[in-house]
Structure 1
Amino acid sequence: MTDAPVTPQSTRRLGALRNQVPMLLVVLVLVVAIVFVMQERWRRGSLFIGGAALLASVLRLFLPQVRAGLLAVRSRPFDVVAYAVLGGTIIALAATISSLGVV
């Protein structure tokens, strides 16, 4: 069995992939939300969507710029506030809207 040589290009690719792990975590939560919505559990799905935005806010707050990957859109304060407001608003709306007999 031969080991593949470690090249600068493969090291760069691994580093680039590692920088996208925070975004992949957020996308994973969004996939769970979509599954709930497809099962007609829209409120639970909405809560997960808001939770994904709050997760993005926390990750953006604590990770350095180079590790935030695609979560870094603008400046850190703007991103944190935008993600937090979006997530909080979605959760508040999902929690306060009457389900009208829908589970």
Structure 2
Amino acid sequence: MTLREFARKVFHGQWPILLPGVILIVAFGLVIAGYWRRGALVLAIGVAVAAVLRLTLPEDRAGLLAVRSRIVDVATTASVSATILYIAWTIDPLGTS
């Protein structure tokens, strides 16, 4: 198996977890750069994307997003996303962007 075939197999099968993962990496990059409110907003969006993907994809395509039952996974990720979004919008920026 070549590296290209291996990468295609991995990315084709696990893209539902890789997409929110990339969004979370961008969010942490924003936080490290000092834009923590924007980073928290992007983090909330990444978790919401994971919730939507878990809700819409069938069990065999959800990959690593499928941990428990669909309703528990969606409820958990949606509530975490809403909590992060609330925190990002309500905490005083302390002079940051």
Question: What TM-score do the two structures reach when normalised by structure 1?
Answer: 0.83
CA distance in 2, matches of 1:101, 1:33: 19
Distance 2:13 2:59 in 1: 10
Q: Distance in 1 between matches of 2:11 and 2:34?
A: 34
The residue type paired with residue 67 of structure 1 is R
Partner of residue 100, structure 1: 94
Residue type matched to 1:66 in 2?
D
8 Å CA contact 1:19–1:66 kept in 2: the answer is: no
Larger radius of gyration: 1
State the identity as a percent: 45
Q: 2:62 and 2:43 mapped to 1: Cα distance?
A: 19
Aligned counterpart in structure 2 of residue 66 of structure 1, from 48, 60, 71: 60
Secondary structure at 2:96's aligned position in 1?
A: coil
Q: CA deviation at 1:17?
A: 4.0
User: Would you say 1:57 and 2:45 are equivalent positions?
Assistant: no
Residues 29-82 of structure 1 deviation map (CA, whole Å, 9 limit, x = unaligned): 011101101110000111111111100000000001111111111000000010
* Alignment equivalent of 1:34, drawn from 24, 28, 53: 28
Determine the structure 1 residue equivalent to 2:13: 19
RMSD between aligned residues: 1.9
Counterparts of 2:85 and 2:13 in 1: how far apart (Å)? 28
Once residues 29 and 17 of structure 1 are traced to their aligned partners in structure 2, the CA distance between those partners, rounded to angstroms, is 16
Q: Which one-letter code corresponds to 1:96 in the other structure?
A: T
Paired with 1:45 and 1:73, the residues of 2 have a C-alpha distance of 26
Q: Name structure 2 gaps, 5 residues minimum.
A: none
Specify which of 69, 76, 80 is matched with residue 75 of structure 1.
69
Count of aligned pairs between the two proteins: 93
